[in-house]
Structure 1
Amino acid sequence: MLKRERRSDEGEDVRPETTKKDGRNDRDGMMKRHIPAMTTAALAASLCFTTTFAADWTPPAERADLDAKDKARVEKVTQPTDDFSKPEAFEIMQGGAATSTANVNRDSFSHSSANITFAEEETFKLGNALFRKFWVSSPSSTQASDGLGPLFNARSCQSCHLKDGRGHPPEGDSDATSMFLRLARVARTPEEQARIDNYETINFPDAVYGGQLQDFAVPGLSAEGRMTIDYREEDVTLGDGCTVSLRHPTYGVADLAYGPLGEDTTLSPRIANPMIGLGLVQAIEPADILGLADPDDADGDGVSGRPNIVSDTVTGEVKLGRFGWKAQNATIHDQSVGAMSGDIGVSSPHAPNPYGDCSEAEAACLAMPTGVQPRLGDTEAPDPVMELITFYAENLAVPARRDVDDVDVLRGKQVFYEAGCTACHNPKFVTSRNAENPAHRFQLIWPYSDFLLHDMGEGLADGQQVAMANGREWRTAPLWGNGLTEVVNDHSFFLHDGRARNRTEAILWHGGEAETARDNFANASQEDRDALIKFLESL
């Protein structure tokens, strides 16, 4: 039986004190590119991109929200365990007092934080309605929903984040709504590089197709094109002789409607990330994440990890990036605004262009009507639309762990630790006492991520620079909720492009800084590999 944790009226969690321990076009109009699709010089420049910080921003060396007593409590409770004979205290409550203890079913990722107020529940539900809202093309009699596109990838947030969960690649007759191609190129001139170095931009879009390939369009307009995927199977033999087949994808674009892509435009496939626990991630003190960074591998363990540093589009402040596949967004609001504009083509106060990702080269797109209604505001999604969607995204609860005391799960946890997985998948944090929402303050949480960038090897490289992230780097994906993917989303596709069809394949794709941990898993006994997978399924 799950027990609800005791908390104060402010939502503060008390557990830390009590816890003990070369692309070319063919005659069919199709372009195929092996990922990464960069010139040798561009890739070399990308890999030499180092972590520097703006002159007016100093990374915090330690947390400023805690007194000496609290610092000691936090340090104690976040120490990695060495006792795998039993669960750790409060381990079942992955999201602290905000954890959802509702019955496991397809709605497991769609519950609100358990400790928000009654009034906030109304705000959450309003945000949920807007998250599910289907936008329509202009002009429309439903003016409050007017403004889709003109070019777009989805009609609603929920279309990509189905049941608030994980996207998937198109399989069989399934569509590609929850997966798309990011388009970008590296800086071509010192002036452009200076814009990246000064946090003015994260990269440069394709001159014609913009920042992502949009495979839908409103009536009367042609979509930009469509993503193509070709898979090649390759057998990998494990240490005990067992064989696993991995599929190697090659991505391309077909039916390009507005001319060729730029010669140096890279294609980066992305599936939608799960939405749970985002507000708690936002509440982690930057010092705790930065304290895990080791860009020069000073400890010699082969794992470096470095932060992505970006600008907050609302305030202009330079901040730690922590959201998105390459940690390219500092806040949930930025992530939401970017998706509303890029994915759906709907403008909002901090992304006011009603034509979304349409470029100047797409004259037909710019000639289409927009959904701006002066009586409603200057944008298609005026205030408070984005504030409500952001609140909803901030308060989607992490489900409680299952089977934490199962002997195989405990053994799998030990294998996970001993293989070196926690070098990147850092188990736990205690959130800031100064978090904006009291429900997120001072919570012991278990995301299993350090939210840093890591070189994941050539096999997973996309060749695309995103702010400080180079073409081989990805943010460590949080693992909480991992075990409910099949329940919520009816599939088990993992990694940034869903190439892995199960957790074993996902682990075997790890390279670069994660190669040692990957090899430790590959060389483990079948019993230990199965136990580690069972541990992941309990998260």
Structure 2
Amino acid sequence: MYIIPKSVTSAATGSCLLLIVSGCGNSAAPTLSSSESLPGGEASVSIQPFASFQLPAENLPQAQHPDFHAGKALAHQPWVRAPTITTARDGLGPLYNARTCLFCHINGGRSQMPESPDRELIGPFVRISIPGKDKIQGVVPEPVYGDQLHTQSVALSHQLRQVSQLKKVSLKAEEVKPEAYIYIDWQHSTFTYPDQTQVNLRWPKPRITKLAYGELNADTMFSLRNSPPIHGTGLLELIPQTAIDKLADPQDSNGDGISGRVNHVWDFEQARTVPGRFGLKANRANNLRIVTAAAFTGDVGITNPLFPQQPCTEAQTRCLKTANGNGEEGVEIPDNLLSLVTDFLRNLGVPKRSNWNSEPVLAGRELFYQSGCQQCHHPDYTTAESCQLPHLSKQKIWPYTDLLLHDMGPDLADGRPDYQASGSEWRTPPLWGVGLREAVNGSNNLLHDGRARTVEEAILWHGGEAKQVRRHFVNLKADQRQLLIEFVKSL
């Protein structure tokens, strides 16, 4: 049971909070709109009784459902080592992080971070690079290991390493070795609110073991990444770039301390620099085909028309010589199958909100706006018109993101630049569906490296441009903080 603070008046009237965040300079919540119950517009879908982020958009034409489910099956398909008689799904690796696309995005949601220091990191992964800039790749890959550590390989002895009677098995000299095994050592600290309430915070310290190809470059930069949820990405792709550009304020010309920036990245289809939109640092172009193709080659080791090279560096000669699963097109997943998976991704629906206008949620909505959270988590857009995706066109959507880069301060910095994103900048993640993450797959891993187990912890990690907003949250009363959290979880 929640008690609505007397300082909160009806959210439906758009009226203000009194005295709880004095001097913050942020406006009251706008008048409540019934469209907020449908974050994906007409593409919003009920995920009851089975919680999943893998359902087709509610308004996806029936004629397109067979292709949607074919793409979904491909995204779930476990790839196998080449050569095999199953030519439609061979070509795994030789180095990879997962056998399937949705192994990392479990049930369409986030991947799960290992809680035990003895459990290998599988699903989440570590990006690496060395100092420098590259117009095409965005980073300068580590000379031997590339730009991502692959903890899996097609070596049989590696595959059998967890079998109890074979735990002492060693990789044979002629086999392709995984680049490394990675474990997480969790570090802990305690945060104390002004009212003396305490919260345990944690952050991950990756432990990289058994480097198979020699030592890493002494200047190597590391970034632990937790895979994000994938629902609603087709709608995000249709947000007009002009709408995002209007939110950018790289010089903080209005003096509010928020200076969102657009990243500029390489478009591997158009062969030119374009605004970035996808990826944790907005380091992928606004093109889900590129996002899908890059994941296939980088995470699963499946070559495709956009990225036809195996995930092996020139120093990994045995990897380069390993048999591949190339078909008639000279790649392991041809253009038509890549398109099926891409369109599956585009047509994923967004969960409807179930308690969007309850009194506690409406009170939390007021606090969300009064604290200034909407300055980065921009609430709504109208998608552009699309001949290819008419059902996703002209939709009023509520993703709560500006899709811009923001400096989040030293505590969240990975120190690894990517294109124009600095080592402390991250793209604002969408909030839609955030309260359903545990029901969808049991994951409680928020932020780029999965350190936050709750919405509250995620807020407390905010720094840099968000430090003033965090300060407002910290200084709320305990019941007000809970109301704000309930609103975020309702999204």
TM-score w.r.t. length of structure 1: 0.80
The answer (yes or no) to whether the contact 2:120–2:183 under 8 Å persists in 1 is no
Q: Which amino acid aligns with 2:407?
A: D
After TM superposition, give the deviation of residue 247 of structure 1 in Å.
1.1
Match of 1:270 in 2: 225
Q: Hey, what's the Cα distance between the residues in 2 that align with 1:359 and 1:285?
A: 37
1:462-499, CA deviations, whole angstroms, 9 ceiling, x for partnerless residues?
01111110100000010001010010011322111111
What SS does the corresponding residue of 1:439 show, helix, strand or coil? helix
5+ residue gaps, structure 1, are 1-18, 22-79, 188-192
> Secondary structure of the equivalent of 1:129?
helix
Number of the residue aligned with 1:167: 111
What is the alpha-carbon distance in structure 2 between the residues aligned to residue 435 and residue 321 of structure 1? Answer: 22
Partner of 2:301: 345
Letter in 1 for 2:403: F
Letter aligned with residue 182 of structure 2: M
Counterpart secondary structure, 2:234: helix
Q: Give the corresponding residue for 1:513.
A: 465
Residue type of the alignment partner of 2:440: V
In the aligned structure 1, how far is the partner of 2:196 from the partner of 2:401?
A: 31
- For residue 83 of structure 1, report the CA deviation from its aligned partner: 5.2
The within-5 A match list for 1:18-417 is 82=28, 87-107=32-52, 109-172=53-116, 175-187=120-132, 193=133, 195-196=134-135, 200-219=136-155, 220-330=175-285, 331-353=287-309, 355=310, 357-374=311-328, 377-417=329-369
For the Cα contact (< 8 Å) 2:29–2:370, is it kept in 1? no
Superposed displacement of residue 106, structure 1: 2.8
Residue identity opposite 1:156 in structure 2: T
Q: Structure 1: how far apart are the matches of 2:123 and 2:212? A: 22
Corresponding residue SS for 2:37: coil
Cα RMSD of the aligned pairs, angstroms, is 1.8
Q: Percent identity?
A: 40
* C-alpha separation in 1, matches of 2:240 and 2:340: 24
Rounded to whole Å, the distance in 1 between the matches of 2:272 and 2:393 is 22
Is the 8 Å Cα contact of residues 98 and 439 (structure 1) preserved in structure 2? yes
Offset, 1:319: 2.1
Note if contact 2:248-2:259 (Cα within 8 Å) is conserved in structure 1: yes
C-alpha separation in 1, matches of 2:13 and 2:232? 24
CA distance in 2, matches of 1:479, 1:486: 14
Taking structure 1 as reference, are residues 20 and 350 closer, same or farther at Cα in structure 2, changes over 3 Å only? farther
Q: d(CA) in 1 for partners of 2:387 and 2:261? A: 23
What is the CA–CA distance in structure 1 between the aligned matches of 2:263 and 2:112, rounded to whole Å? 25
What is the letter of the counterpart of residue 383 of structure 1? D
DSSP 3-state at the match of 1:311:
strand
3-state secondary structure, aligned to 1:322: strand
The DSSP-based 3-state class of the residue aligned with 2:235 is helix
Superposition deviation, residue 104 in structure 1 = 4.5
Alpha-carbon shift at residue 82 of structure 1 (Å): 4.0
**What pairs up with 1:405-444 in 2 under 5 angstroms?**
405-434=357-386, 436-444=388-396
Deviations 1:362-420 (A, max 9, x none): 1121121111133xx21110121111110000011000012111111111111111111
User: 2:194 is aligned with what amino acid?
Assistant: G
Counterpart Cα distance in 2 of 1:122 and 1:403: 32
Change (3 A) 1:20 1:415: closer
Find the counterpart in structure 1 of residue 440 from structure 2: 488
Amino acid of the residue matched to residue 143 of structure 2? Answer: A
- CA distance in 2 between counterparts of 1:238 and 1:348 reads 51
Q: In 2 relative to 1, CA 520–453 (structure 1 residues): closer, same or farther, beyond 3 Å?
A: same
Opposite residue 300 of structure 2, the aligned amino acid is I
The residue aligned with 2:479 is 527
CA contact (8 A) 1:20 1:89 kept: no
Q: Separation in 1 of the partners of 2:274 and 2:62?
A: 32
* Cα distance between partner residues in 2 of 1:427 and 1:218: 44
- The one-letter code sitting in structure 1 at the alignment partner of 2:237 is Q
- Give unmatched runs, 5+ long, in structure 2: 1-11, 15-25, 156-174
Q: Distance in 1 between matches of 2:60 and 2:427?
A: 29
> Partner letter of residue 243 of structure 2?
D
Q: State the Cα deviation string for residues 92-150 of structure 1 (Å, max 9, x = none).
A: 0000111103424332x111011121121111111101100110011112111110000
Superposition deviation, residue 240 in structure 1:
1.2
Q: CA deviation at 1:171?
A: 1.7
Contact 2:37 2:352 in 1 (8 A): yes
